[in-house]
Structure 1
Amino acid sequence: MKLKGLKNASGCMCLLIVGALFSFIGWRMGAANMLNTVMHTAHDLLLNTCFYLMSICVITGAIGKLFVEFRVVDLFEKMLRPLMKPLFNLPGMASLGAVLTFLSDNPAIITLSKDKRFASHFKKFQFISLTNFGTAFGMGLIVIVFMIGAGYYVEPFIGFVGAFAGCIISTRCMQHFVLKAYPQYRDEVAVDFEPTSADDGSEQTPLERKSTFLRTLNSLLDGGKMGVEVGLSIIPGVLIISSLVMILTFGPSTSGAYTGAAYEGIELLPDVANVFAGFFDAVFGFSDPHQIAFPITALGAVGAALSLVPNFQAHGWIDGNAIAVFTAIGMCWSGFLSTHTAMLDSLGYRELTSKAIISHTIGGLGAALVAHWIYLLYMLAV
């Protein structure tokens, strides 16, 4: 009976919150205008943003698969390996996770961690922090290519440096929290692994010989197919999260009246941002209160956050600093609120989810701060 009562209470609470939110929006815009705006906004996002993002995912997926096939990933991994221990307190093997998540998405680190040979190189506290480490680079290539496509060439790479710094902060914070709660994890190995003849490659059957042309073609097509899957997975976040965020960000039409057209809204988020303008200016360097919508959306889905950029450009609400900060916080957070629970659950450490979320929130803010100040130094230099 008690469980049934809790279910009823949660259902009533959900209904109350959803009803209050849309009643407030409908009261400001008019019910008919609100519904028309939601549908028109979602339709326009699907046609002009989701398919554009999907095309980027297909291209970057093909490039990523090509890099894997011809061992460019191994080259990057060897270059990054010396940085792992001094910066992230992780074994050199972790650099492979950074490269793979940068080329694809957050869950790639979990797929890699399921390899017992890979996991055996980590202590338990290091292994758990892989969730934060991998998330900070998720969809990095897609974010950078999108920003370059928007006409910014230096700022995305400044943002990448900021995301790198945010990753260090997040990973180190997570390790601190884990060791504070479980000191024994400092010396315990994540996975006990005894290599066999099959694991060391001595008895592996030789790979089928293929021409360079065929390997290239197969890599491009397979990578592009994976890009389509990533693009499809982005669509729900863009249509649901972005539509709501845009209604809360944008205002009425140029005439000041609501017409039910796409991208109209009640400007609630800018009003809230104005209250904390000093904080956002110091941490992010935001020049317009509407820009706060990007980091809020990136908490749930970075693809949805990217969909805000074209409209911000059309309204003249963003500058180079915003692009650098957007890239940093978009890469570092990359929708971690929607993935961290599942990622830690798959690793078997669900109870540490709250610590991972706190660590990554701090890391994302650190990424934004670093990107902002590097951009200021860059502007002084030029």
Structure 2
Amino acid sequence: MKKIPSGIWCITSVVVLFGYLAAIMGLPNMLNTIMKTAHDLLLNTVFYLMSICVITGAIGRVFVEFGVVTLLERTLRPLMRPIFNLPGVTSLGAVMTFLSDNPAIISLANDKRFASYFKKYQFISLTNFGTAFGMGLLVMVFMASQGYYAAPCIGLIGACIGCVCSTRLMQRFVLKAYPQYAEENAVSDEDLAKEEAKEEGNQNEKTVFIRLLNAMLDGGRSGVDVGIAIIPGVLIISTFVMMFTFGAGAEGAYDGSAYQGVELLPWLANKIGFVFDWLFGFQDPHLVAFPITALGAVGAALSLIPGFIQHGWIDGNAIAVFTAIGMCWSGFLSTHTAMLDSLGYRDLTPKAILAHTCGGIVAAIAAHWMFTLFTLVAG
């Protein structure tokens, strides 16, 4: 098999992949769905994420400019280091991703003064750390709007536990592959000195208003760069994840619309539904659609919940598990590649995905058993 040219494997894989999709959906429908899904993702997801990056980039740069980052580092260092093995300043990234989405952590990471607090192995694990809180506020508010209050809070704790697992596992993977990263700083002393000298000169020469204005505009400009960097990952990966997750149209037929697919992932998950019942406490096999969909987009996963409630498939335990795994994963398959690429560590993407997959599963299991304990105590 080693003698077979890699080009043959590539062609075979492409033929099998698109042949399978075309056989079920029809070739014209498959092509239309791919293009329309990618187009919709570009307009309604990528530009949305870019706007988040611009705003959070501006806020983060202001916090860095006026010493908020330093204050957080000093205040939260005793908490962050023993739990996540990260500097206290990382808590700012957790807050921003919780209020917005995963790429917000990259807007902060691109700031050299923020990055100067990290060793390289810690800096790389920021992708896993920030993703675990992505769109947290949206998930919590949505669950509360469905009439559940205690369960989402339990799910939030579960997401934090999953974050610890994902972050520390990623750090172990990085150190095993690159032991020297344990001592190397994420930013060289020379680059940091230049940045500080530049900022010190700007502070001496400019008023507070000008510093505020420049910080917002410079941070927003870095957000635009990040927004452009995530386009390939979102459009390519998320499109195919959704095509293997979603099914045909409302009438059970394919018409080439966006977000149609072959439902392969739910079909595979249903084959091992007993595992999800034991680990997550799911009482209905349809519920596995939520974590599978959350791999690609947590917003799409949330849209499943009203239907689950209408059919009577859902309970408080499912809401707790959905909150934990939805927040922890929050569409990481569609953003992890782009996020690590923008940080300059694309080759570590498989390790990051593996670590975060484990983190999401741990988050869901923790939420399930905490809700079980809560039910026993409350009952």
Instruction: Give the TM-score band, short-chain normalised.
Output: 0.7 to 0.9
Matched, 1:142 2:138: yes
Is residue 14 from structure 1 mapped to residue 29 from structure 2 by the alignment? no
Structure 1 residues 336 and 320 mapped into 2: Cα distance closer, same or farther (>3 Å)? same
Identical aligned pairs, as a percentage? 54
* Farther off after superposition, 258-267 or 132-141: 258-267
- Render the CA deviation track for 1:77-104: whole Å, top value 9, x for unaligned: 8765432101001111111111111111
The answer to whether the Cα contact below 8 Å between 1:242 and 1:305 also exists between their aligned partners in 2 is: no
C-alpha displacement at 1:268, in angstroms? 6.4
Residues 238 and 304, structure 1, Cα contact 8 Å, conserved in 2? no
| Conserved? CA contact 1:64–1:103, under 8 Å | no
What does residue range 1-382 of structure 1 map to in structure 2 within 5 Å? 10=10, 13-23=13-23, 25=24, 80-193=76-189, 194-195=192-193, 196-200=196-200, 202-203=203-204, 205-208=206-209, 245-247=245-247, 272-382=268-378
Change (3 A) 1:68 1:379: farther
> Partner of 1:214 in structure 2?
none
Under a length normalisation based on structure 2, what TM-score does the superposition of the two structures give?
Answer: 0.73
Q: Is the 8 A contact 1:76 1:99 kept in 2?
A: no
Equivalent-residue separation in structure 2 for 1:166 and 1:95 (angstroms): 16
State the SS of the aligned residue for 2:208.
coil
Could you tell me which amino acid in structure 2 is paired with residue 306 of structure 1?
A: L
Tell me: CA distance 1:6–1:181, structure 2 relative to 1, closer, same or farther (3 Å). Answer: closer
Give CA deviations for 1:113-162 in whole Å, capped at 9, x if unaligned.
11111111111111111111111111111111122222222211111111
Partners of 1:182 and 1:269 lie apart in 2 by 34
Show structure 1 runs of 5+ residues with no match.
210-217
**CA–CA distance in structure 2, aligned partners of residues 135 and 94 of structure 1:** 13
The 3-state SS of whatever aligns with 1:203 is helix
CA distance in 1, matches of 2:299, 2:13: 29
In 1, Cα distance between equivalents of 2:15 and 2:377: 54
Calculate the aligned-residue CA RMSD, in Å.
Answer: 4.7
Amino acid at match of 1:199: E
* TM-score for both structures, normalised by structure 1: 0.72
Say if 1:242 and 1:307, in contact at 8 Å, map to a contact too.
Answer: no
Aligned-partner Cα distance in 2 for 1:90–1:280: 32
Structure 2 partner of 1:215:
none
Preserved CA contact (<8 Å) 2:238 2:333: no
Aligned match of 2:213: none
Task: Measure how far apart 1:13 and its partner are.
Answer: 3.4
Which letter maps to 1:14? V
CA distance 1:361–1:270, shift in 2 (3 Å): closer
In the TM superposition, what whole-angstrom CA distance separates every residue of 1:194-241 from its partner, at most 9, and x where no partner exists?
A: 4435435841622339xxxxxxxx9xxx9xxx9xx9xxx9x9899986
